[in-house]
Structure 1
Amino acid sequence: MIIDLIRHTTPNVAKGICYGQTDLELASNYENEFKEITLKTHSHYDVVITSPLQRCLKLALSLPGDFLLQEPRIKEYNFGDWEMLPWSELNSEQALRWMQDFTTQSTPNGESMQEMQTRVMNFWEELLLNNHKKVAVVTHSGVQRLLHSHIMGAPLERMFRLELDFGAIIRINYDKENSLATLRHL
């Protein structure tokens, strides 16, 4: 099975804003970014699976596939009360505790990275049981980083060492017979 993990294109939000699960519109250059993505993706997918947030859904609707499925488990990290706040304003003791241990600490009314990992891995394990040949998963950088870390056997603490631009594509080749996943960045 070939799985293309595709990050959404640039959202319409100022730089430096913590936006996680906020449902944002896309920036005006969406069409140009989409053209670049389609140069790297397949001409047809058995299924296109997408986060229900519109920054992913719009791209997913444009990809050629037999089926389109919206999957809430592949939403971005839930920052809770910090959604739409500038990162520069997160100077509280609670924010510092979270930054020192984001894997187990949850944000106020949000989630921890371990909680996000649980929901993403539940999705991933189900996906690998399917018999699809080509799958597009339109999602967010947090989901891409979690799956990349999982496949590479890297601890969650290192997941932010992977830089992913908007529209980044990670292609995963999954050999079901040997339960082996390999990846490359397109």
Structure 2
Amino acid sequence: MTLYIWRHPKPMATDGRCIGQSDVAVDMRKLKRLAHRIERFVRRHQLPKVIWVSPLQRSLKVGQILAQRGFACHVAPELAEINFGKWDGQDWVQIAKQEIDDWCADFAHFAPDGGESLQQLFERVEGWLKIVWAEQNGLAPILAIGHAGWITAAKILAAGHEVPKIAADWPASVTYGECSYLTLSGI
């Protein structure tokens, strides 16, 4: 099965902030631009007009635009970005250095208060991939709009690797609007 997953457009006023499941706004022009690129991609490659999105508006609104253009749009809470709990929405400089140090010391298992660990994110990503794999019998391509952490976790899983144990092993994020192609076999 192939997963084509685009990272949502760049949200507004988020520089220097910890953004996970904070529901931040995106300029409508950027939402429409990504929807147009996805629509052209689907037409060019003759893919099914079915898109999966997270419930966060930076993903959801692109899906809604595509739905107005004839796509079936499915909202999957499992596609949401990592939950940073009490850190979410704060400026990174406001988060206590000791908490950041604790996270780096136990990168895979540390979770901010009310949030989820990287291990939990990976379990959520893998669970969703298994569900869509089964629904598509591992054959039909899946199109989705997601988030950097989610996409990175999916790439790591598709490569057969484990959750990174140290922060230095976390790869660079995909850029806003970038499409990642993942070949999944029996996740």
TM-score interval (norm. to shorter): 0.7 to 0.9
| Partner SS, residue 94 of structure 1 | helix
Q: Which residue of 2 aligns with 1:163?
A: 173
Q: CA deviation at 1:137?
A: 1.1
Structure 2 gaps of 5+ residues are none
What is the count of residue pairs matched by the alignment?
Answer: 177
Contact kept in structure 2, 1:33 and 1:167, CA below 8 Å: no
Q: For 2:52 and 2:77, locate their aligned partners in 1 and report how far apart those are by CA, in whole Å.
A: 10
The code of the aligned residue for 1:12 comes to M
Letter of the 2:60 partner, please give it: L
What is the percentage of aligned positions where both structures have the same residue?
23
Query: How far, CA to CA, are the matches of 1:68 and 1:31 in structure 2?
Result: 15
Q: Give the letter aligned to residue 59 of structure 1.
A: V
What's the secondary structure of 1:144's corresponding residue?
Answer: helix
Q: Is the 8 A contact 2:108 2:119 kept in 1?
A: yes
Please tell me whether residue 75 in structure 1 is matched to residue 80 in structure 2.
Answer: yes
User: For residue 155 of structure 1, what is the amino acid of its counterpart?
Assistant: E
Shift of 1:136: 1.1
Query: Who is 1:184 aligned against?
Result: none
Deviation per CA, 1:123-182: give whole Å up to 9, x if none: 1001111236232111111110011000112332266313311111112344xxxx368x
Partner Cα separation in structure 1 for residue 177 and residue 37 of structure 2: 6
| Residue aligning to 2:133 | 128
TM-score, with length taken from structure 1: 0.83
Q: How far apart, CA to CA, are the structure 2 residues paired with 1:55 and 1:126? A: 23
- Paired residue for 2:42? 42
TM-score by length of structure 2 reads: 0.82
Residues 57-95 of structure 1: per-residue CA shift (max 9 Å, x gap): 111223366521110011001011011111122233222
The more displaced of 56-65 and 115-124 is 56-65
Q: How do 1:7-22 residues align onto structure 2 when only pairs under 5 Å count? A: 7-22=7-22
Amino acid aligned to 1:62:
I
Please state how far the C-alpha of 1:36 moved relative to its aligned partner.
Answer: 7.1
> Which structure features the higher share of helix residues?
2
- The amino acid that maps onto 2:161 is A
Runs of 5+ unmatched residues, structure 1: 182-186
CA-based RMSD: 2.5
Q: 1:109 to 1:13 in 2, by over 3 A?
A: same
Matches within 5 A, 1:21-100: 21-27=21-27, 29-31=29-31, 33-34=33-34, 37-38=37-38, 41-43=41-43, 44-63=47-66, 66-100=71-105
Query: Cα gap change, 1:40/1:97 in structure 2, threshold over 3 Å: closer, same or farther?
Result: farther
